[in-house]
Structure 1
Amino acid sequence: MSLLLLVTLLCVVPVALSSDVVDLTPDNFDQIVDGTKHVLVEYYAPWCGHCKKLSPTYEIVATSFRKIDSVIVAKVDAEAHTELRDRFGVTGFPTLKFFNKGSTEAEDYSGGRSEDEFIDFLNEKSGSEAKAVKPPSFVVALTANTFEKEVFESGRHALVEFYAPWCGHCMNLMPVYENLAEIFGPESNVLIAKVDATVETNKPLATTYDVSGFPTIKYFAPGSQTPEDYSEGRDLSSFVQFINEKAGTYRKEDGTLASIAGRVAELDVLVSGVTDFTNSHLNQAEAIVEKLEGEDAEHGALYIKAIKKIIPKGSGYIESEIKRLEGLLRNKNVPLVKRKLFEKRKNILKALNGEAIDNQEADETDDEPEVDANEEL
């Protein structure tokens, strides 16, 4: 599969991964903030830097109260829902309002904005004893001791952020970078990592790679010790496209695979228009697969396996198997590696069913993403 085709066919529609923060809109606000529970609400704007800094902390607070039935942690996009902004007199971002159980009148939240301060406030109001529950990080934290093994010896495409804990731009990047790492978690040939460049033992790494500001992001090709500066946008779309181009992966921004994943062009040509698969089709497919290499050979084997099932069971097998796989993919407990396999199998079955690659995935935005300036050391 050519690199150009890969880039052209990838979907760039941003979709957030799972969150415990409840999104409030004019349609559901009064049903959720109805006095039956304690509700903490953040009014934010997508462009607001302070809101971006607060986001990871707010997510931790929401996750910490996920199992406390009497508490809801929520947010309102005040740019999109101006009627909710005006209704509660919101004039700046982020603005936090608290609705006590038994009331639909808002109180201004004026407490601290650390996770512990939020949690203490909600515990006091609700009488609960929630503890901070930090979600697992998909970003690999590297040190001077682990850098060589993880980056040089692993054979992976490595994107490495050099950061400082006090750096505002690094804080803004954190949720996007975490999202990126989660998206590429199932890809064994990709590493999304970070280095705390302020740690004394890590400072030689920062010197070696000419880190003069934070965050500095470097891309290391497999086996290479000479990195490439990452100079693309720092939005999720730009990161996903960059990694897909470099690693030959097919990830979309919602974490799923593009419809091209698993597809083999030569086999798609062979099966195009076929409605009744026979042993002749199987033999031709096997001849093609014998000449394939690497990942294409693995995908070719999935075509062969599917055709062998279709011949005795008929074309009805394709639809029923697609539905079965879609059911499995809706199960959040399916391991990431299995999920990747199921998505590829579904794509291949769609090819065998005569479905072309989704043209929607050829749409790309022409907007140039805004890049924040680095904070100097």
Structure 2
Amino acid sequence: MRLSAAVTLVSLAATSMLAGVRAESDVLELGVKNFSETVNPEKLILVEFFAPWCGHCKALAPEYEVAATQLKEMGIPIAKVDCTVETDLCQEHGVQGYPTLKVFRDGESSDYTGPRKADGIVSFMKKKALPALTEIAPENLVTFSESDRVVIVGAFPKDSAKRVTLEKIAKSYSDEYVFGVVEENPDVQGEGIVLYKKFDEGKNVLEGDFDEEALFDFIKVNSVPIMDEIGPNNYATYMDSGLPLAYYFFSTPEEKTQHSTEIEALAKSLKGQMNFVYIDASKFGAHAANLNLKESWPAFGIQNVGSGAKYPLEQEGELTIENIKALADGVLAGTVESSIKSEPIPESNDAPVKVVVAHTYKEIVEDQDKDVLIEFYAPWCGHCKNLAPTYEKLGEMYKDSKIVIAKFDATANDLPTDVPFQVQGFPTIKFRKAGSTEYIEYNGNRSEEDLVQFINDNAVNKVDVKVEKEDPVKADDIEHDEL
């Protein structure tokens, strides 16, 4: 997920709060004294490692409470650890940012990769509680098929080789979908797969021969609504689909319905090639900037979620279904050039830290004769502001050498679409060796000493730089401001 695709929806989601949170919490509070005895015996438990001052933790808190109450009824406990108090415990579990959520099975942990809204947490943990592929009795088929928003059920006899293919897919995608298998299903003639869903036509059937790739494509295409309103709960689904995403921005109910019939018909005709969504500009209007659109409604734009390429529809004239269709067809045909957002090229760029904009990225950052350390930052990022004095000193140390210290405002500039990484938090620091096209990410402490050591270890062009040893950096000084 590229920076340009994620900033607004995720950051605005972080400010949403639920009303009516229970006064009595169902979230267990854990510390070093009761962590092992609580977590280890549980077949499944979700644990949040947090800091009270963390804004993302505060936004998660009411959602987490609601999820805890619902999951408690299913026998799945939810817990939290205050890392400002339980520092050793959090360090033991590799916590490097807040909030960090981990799923524990019989005491063994894995990273939580699900949504951070209550219904998404509940759905994710319900899936975790199930086997990757559930054997369904015929009398339980209807109940099972309605157990989640998307449920995939295979109809195969016990000796069918197709069960093996279904199970492979189920093991790979059990965090995202519920999978089951039954010997006979009235919704399919003989053997086949039925995808049940709580939207559009309600179900889709895959019959005949198929391999893993065909089954995955079937699920990917049919598990996304023909057209839905996008928000924090379903954003990741569209990003994970890999298909270009077309946004129709509206600010009033009248604007939403103005072209809805024609756009939904277009979305249906391009199903499997491009996803279409409504986006409420009264909530997420700032996301238009991530498509290089002005905040003027209604508006339409398309993004390639894989490369990050943006295709805003011209906003000077009237928005019509004809120009919407022309843009969609042009993007799919590869005949439309993407839009690149860039700050003006600086008139002078002689400061120790080189300013990089979209139009100078290739020239400065991918200069094959030089080693380059580049910081991707946001002007509002507190961690970036804390780093700035150290980063300026670093620039002075390597000034006039073949090691370039550079910075890139990732909120005001687009990365070239062929850059092989995504910016997902601030600051992100990358290093490219002279003569190489690969980037190394820096994840160490943000002290002069550690940054210089990192450059010394990786640079092709050696520069003798020495710094005095500094005090250890506090844990929050190596955190990122998340998107």
Question: What TM bracket, shorter-length normalisation?
Answer: 0.3 to 0.5
| Structure (1 or 2) with the greater helix fraction | 1
> Which structure would you say has the larger RCO, counting Cα contacts within 8 Å and 6 or more residues apart?
1
TM-score with structure 2 length normalisation? 0.28
TM-score with structure 1 length normalisation? 0.34
